[in-house]
Structure 1
Amino acid sequence: MKFSLQRILLPALTGVLMILVWYAIRLGLADDLRFLLPSPGQVLMALRENAAPLARATLNTGEGALLGFLASIVIGAVLALLLAWSPLVRVSLYPYLMMLQMMPVIVVAPILVLWVGPGLKSVVIVTFLICFFPIVVNATQGLVSADRTLAELFRMYGATRLQETRLLRIPAALPYFFTGLRIAAVLAPIGALVGDYTAGSSAGDGGGLGFQAIIYSSQARYPALFATAAITCVLGFVFVAVVLILSWLALHRWHDSYQRRDL
């Protein structure tokens, strides 16, 4: 119980401290600059006043983030298995995967708009491109990092390549895989927001948080702009929380990271 209370109280106290620092920084600004940093109360008021458009935008961004995230998981896991199975494929494809990750979204987005049109499809692809790389890299690293002694033992007992992969390499890769998922879960709402901003569409109330950010920024509605950023953070927390729950379900019975009791 002590450890559980620490896990709840310490983040709560840190959050209170951050809000106090926020107020202190705002009070330290000159009167004519204070509008650039709304207070937490003003942000909450903006959330209430713009609840309907922000809720609609959150659903649209959440849909794009979820679809892109799921696509990156499926395609990333399959590609990681392929890269782990064949060193030749790994050497051949890895530079191009890095090139894909380094390609700037601001350049890709107009191309996507030309190919698939503005809106949800482009947002999903942008999110996929941002989330894809950490999943592939971490999953591949886990698959090729299985204990060599155990791998030789599998071969000595005549296990097939498929059995070795299913019974040894995939379980060994799970911690790496979930690490990649946590990184991608943080990036998914950001990717969807960037997709909304660069390739989204407001047709049929399809605009997401990125589109709302453009509106609030152009109208100098800074509390609403901060509220949009806060909702994006909450969306990221939801994604990460789901991944952490799945990680706990998969690993808590056997992996060392869940066996320690010092936190």
Structure 2
Amino acid sequence: MRLRPLTLLAPVATGLLLLGLWQLLHTSLSPERQYLVPAPAQVAAAFAENRAELLSGALTTASGAALGLLGAVILGYAFSIALAFSKLTRAALFPYLMALQMMPIIVFAPILVLVIDASLARVAIITFLICFFPLVVNTTQGLLSVDPQLLDFFRLSKASRLDEFRRLRIPTAQPYFFTGLRIAATLAPIGAIVGDYTAGNAQGGTAGLGFQIVLTSSRFQMPQLYATAFIGCALGFLFVALVVALQWLVLHRWHDSYDRAR
């Protein structure tokens, strides 16, 4: 599929417009309040000045996010298969899964601080708790959303439950799984930053983005705080882009959502 020049220029033009509005907002504030919205140039200068610290923090946050997301994928997929395999299992476990999702994650932070010494492990666990639910819900829905006619065909062919899952339910569930994975990939950096904000530290001389937010906000270093926020945003884009690329590799040859004729 060919990208038209206007399609490429549109996001660039929008970005320039947003930068202009940002600069306008900065200049429209009174001098004593301009520090609240630093100019784009000030944020860029803060990033250049603190880039080593910011990139190190991004690497720490990305590590926690990746570990938590990977754990959510592995355990979430296994949990989804267990839920889809038996109505009794779904009836027994799904209410508690809902209860876990509705519990404020911040409640776990002080518990993790007391129980676990490693900051990275605490961040990964909080990220896991945030990512687990959308993966399980979407994957379970996919495992259950099979074509009834195909299901009848498998059963008339006396296929085993293992073959039914391996050859029918799991392939059918892949688009649903990737939908959940994209949601989880969006939440993973946010969860890692929140986890680092509430339960992180600078152990080993490396502070994640969340802990850097705590430090910069307490010192009113607003340009560096904005730079930290933009690094976190870029991290989210990176995670989602990796998932989109993986989804394309797995689905583009056979799934209807990819029109190969375009």
Q: Which residue of 1 aligns with 2:183?
A: 183
1:91 maps to 91
- State the distance in 1 between where 2:154 and 2:6 align: 43
After TM superposition, give the deviation of residue 2 of structure 1 in Å.
4.1
Residues 138 and 55 of structure 1: CA distance in aligned 2, closer, same or farther (over 3 Å):
same
The CA RMSD measured in Å over matched residues stands at 1.6
User: Which digits, 9 at most, give the CA deviation of each residue in 1:178-210, with x for residues without a partner?
Assistant: 010101101111111111111112121132111
Instruction: Report what 2:224 is aligned to.
Output: 224
Structure 2 unaligned residues grouped into runs of 5+: none
- 1:213: how far off? 0.6
The CA distance in 2 between the partners of 1:257 and 1:11, in whole Å, is 24
* 1:20-68: CA deviation from partner (whole Å, max 9, x where unpaired): 2222322332232221111221111111111121122111111111100
Q: For 1:7 and 1:65, how far apart are their aligned partners in 2?
A: 32
Q: What is aligned with 2:207?
A: 207
Code of the aligned partner of 1:173: A
Q: Indicate the residue corresponding to 2:198 in structure 1.
A: 198
| Residues 230 and 84 of structure 1: CA distance in aligned 2, closer, same or farther (over 3 Å) | same
C-alpha deviations, 1:84-116, integer Å up to 9, x for none?
A: 111111111111111111111221100111221
- Please state whether the residue corresponding to 1:32 is helix, strand or coil: helix
Letter in 1 for 2:106: I
- Say whether 1:129 aligns with 2:129: yes
User: Which residue number corresponds to residue 146 of structure 1?
Assistant: 146
The CA distance in 1 between the partners of 2:119 and 2:110, in whole Å, is 12
- What is the deviation of 1:4? 5.6
The corresponding residue for 1:41 is 41
Structure 1, 30-39 or 226-235: larger mean CA deviation: 30-39
Long gaps (5+) in structure 1: none
Cα-to-partner distance string for 1:128-149 (whole Å, 9 max, x where unaligned): 0011110000000000001111
Q: Sort the Cα spacing of 1:32 and 1:260 in 2 relative to 1 into closer, same or farther, 3 A.
A: farther
Equivalent residue pairs, number: 262
Q: Helix, strand or coil: the match of 1:3?
A: coil
Aligned equivalents of 2:170, 2:241: Cα separation in 1:
23
User: Contact conserved, 1:118 with 1:201, CA < 8 A, in 2?
Assistant: no
Secondary structure of the corresponding residue to residue 253 of structure 1:
coil
1:160 aligns to 2:160 (yes or no): yes
Amino acid at match of 1:154: F
CA distance in 1, matches of 2:62, 2:75: 20
TM-score by length of 2: 0.95
- The separation in 2 between residues aligned to 1:119 and 1:79, in whole angstroms, is 27
How far apart are the structure 2 equivalents of 1:80 and 1:6? 43
Per the alignment, residue 13 of structure 2 pairs with 13
Q: Where does 1:109-124 land on structure 2 (aligned, <5 Å)?
A: 109-117=109-117, 119-124=119-124
Superposition pairs for residues 29-108 of structure 1, below 5 Å? 29-108=29-108
Query: Partners of 2:23 and 2:261 in 1: how far apart?
Result: 37
1:169 maps onto 2:178 in alignment: no
| Structure 1 pair 237–190 and aligned structure 2 pair: CA distance change class (3 A) | same
For 2:186, what is the secondary structure of its paired residue? helix
| 95-104 or 208-217, larger mean C-alpha shift | 95-104
Residue 222 of structure 1 aligns with an amino acid whose one-letter code is M
Moved more, 33-42 or 242-251: 33-42
Work out the CA distance in 1 between the residues paired with 2:201 and 2:150.
52
Runs of 4 or more consecutive aligned structure 1 residues displaced over 4 Å after TM superposition: 4-7
Alpha-carbon distance between aligned partners in 2 of 1:114 and 1:224, rounded to the nearest angstrom: 30
- TM-aligned CA distance change 1:6 to 1:183, over 3 Å: farther
Q: Percent identity?
A: 53
> For residues 255 and 205 of structure 2, what CA distance do their matches in structure 1 show?
45
Provide the C-alpha distance between the structure 2 equivalents of 1:131 and 1:192, rounded to a whole number of angstroms: 10
